[in-house]
Amino acid sequence: MNTPNISDTQTDLSRALEKITEIANASANGNYIYRGESEIHDKISSNLYREYEADIETEYFDIEVVQKEILKEAKEYTHKTDEFEILTELQHHGGKTNLIDFTTDYLVALFFACDGNRDAPGRVILLQNRSETYEVVKPSRTVARAGIQKSIFVQAPSDVVAPDAVVRIPADLKGAMLDYLRKHHDISTKTIYNDLQGFIENRRIHKSAYTEFSKGFTCQDRADSAGDPAEKQEWYDKAIDHYTETINLNPEFAIAYNNRGNAYADKGDFDPAIQDYNTAIELNPNFAETYYNRGVAYADKGDFDPAIQDYNTAIELNPNFAEAYYNRVKCIRLFRPQFRKVKTSFVVEIP
């Protein structure tokens, strides 16, 4: 198991910025729309096309016929009459249509390219905004999420479009890219999927994240109670692996970063522990326990000044945090050795 360090984080950030620059440069000489895919498909096509592609010979498949049947049935379940508006509603709720999702913002496309399938490379597709071979249409205003995602749809008679440019996103860069987009552009799961439908979709993903988190917590508990040092280290490593998978599934799970930081710190790996505490605090600035834990890690490194600052913050957030008061006193004595208790005697003043 590889332990991350500050230089690795800086390298990942540099690589992320290089990819963003690559997309920006590819966009410089045209009016483009963008599509992010977390895995690389053979074709750029709609979800309706992909549903039928595996079962029939698509060269003899008329997607417009299928689409008309879908619309005919869908009209029985909605008061809407505009067919395109119905299609956008279906697409929004996960239905199969011949609309291909794009966005006018390449950073949003980059999010979709990285959000999922962490073991496989993704890609950002660039497509000219105007063409004689396909139609570019804006979604209905009734879909609130479309505004946040800066959505736009492509419809093609063949239901397949050819990209003008493609930027590949390596699998090992996805986590760092999502972290950068969240920190610097406020693009994250919460902002992209900002409605109940998004909440439901994310619950499916987060169920697996909670499972991994529970496994990590169990391994960490076993490590804490293990008497043998080798066994203790082994359980901490397993806990770290499970917390890492939790974070892969849900990059905004602050407690998972906090607990992984604890596991690193208990192994003596203080730098990656502090990195994880930093991320947990960014995700939840009111998390008193994480300030306390980071303070412990700084103190264990001998960095007493930042440790005292973290204990101060933990106490501000939770004035009843007894451990933070106790550790702060210890740090002050170690950091400022001139501060010592002075023994005094009672003096009786006689008027």
Place of tokens 């359980």: 235
Contacts of 37 (CB under 8 A, 6+ apart): 112, 113, 122, 123, 125
Categorize the per-residue pLDDT at 63 as very low, low, confident or very high, splitting at 50, 70 and 90: low
What is the band of 340 on the pLDDT scale with cuts at 50, 70, 90?
Answer: very low
pLDDT more than 70, % of the chain: 73
The CATH number fitting domain 203-335, selected from 1.25.40.10, 3.40.50.1980, 3.40.50.1820, 3.40.50.300: 1.25.40.10
Query: How many CB atoms are closer than 10 A to CB 53?
Result: 17
pLDDT given at position 209: 79
Ramachandran area for residue 291 (φ above 0: left; ψ -120 to 50: alpha; else beta) = alpha
Closest CA to 43 of 159, 160, 174: 160
pLDDT bin (cut points 50, 70, 90) of residue 93 is low
pLDDT in tens, 164-197: 899 999 998 988 898 889 888 988 877 877 655 5
Return the structure tokens found at 82.
């505009």
Q: What is the CA radius of gyration of the chain?
A: 27
- The average pLDDT across 146-166 equals 80
- CB 331 within 8 Å of CB 315: no
CA 291/CA 242 separation, integer angstroms: 23
**Which comes out higher in pLDDT, residue 70 or 4?**
70
Q: Is pLDDT of 121 > 90?
A: yes
Count Cβ neighbours within 10 Å for each residue of 322-344 and write b for 16 or more, e otherwise.
eebeebbeebeeeeeeeeeeeee
Q: Tell me, letter by letter, the H, E, C secondary structure of 271-308.
A: HHHHHHHHHHHHHCCCCHHHHHHHHHHHHHHCCHHHHH
Q: Would you kindly state where each structural domain of the chain is located, as residue ranges?
A: 6-192, 203-335
Helix (H, G, I), strand (E, B) or coil at 51: helix
Q: Any idea how long the chain is?
A: 351
- Band of residue 96 on the pLDDT scale cut at 50, 70, 90: confident
Secondary structure element (H or E) that encloses residue 100, with its range:
strand 100-103
Q: Confirm if 255 and 213 have CB atoms less than 8 A apart.
A: yes
**Beta strand pairing status for 44-45 and 160-161?**
antiparallel
Instruction: Give, as one character, the DSSP assignment of residue 33.
Output: E
Global confidence as pTM: 0.62
At residue 300, does pLDDT exceed 70?
yes
State the pLDDT confidence band at 349, using cuts at 50, 70 and 90.
very low
Residue with tokens 């045209």: 30
Distance (Å, whole) CA 88 – CA 340: 71
Which tens digit of pLDDT belongs to each residue from 200-214? 555 555 567 788 888
DSSP string, 221-290: HHHHH--SHHHHHHHHHHHHHHHHHHHHH-TT-HHHHHHHHHHHHHHT-HHHHHHHHHHHHHH-TT-HHH
Q: pLDDT digit string (tens) for 128-144?
A: 888 887 888 777 665 56
Q: What is the pLDDT of residue 342?
A: 45
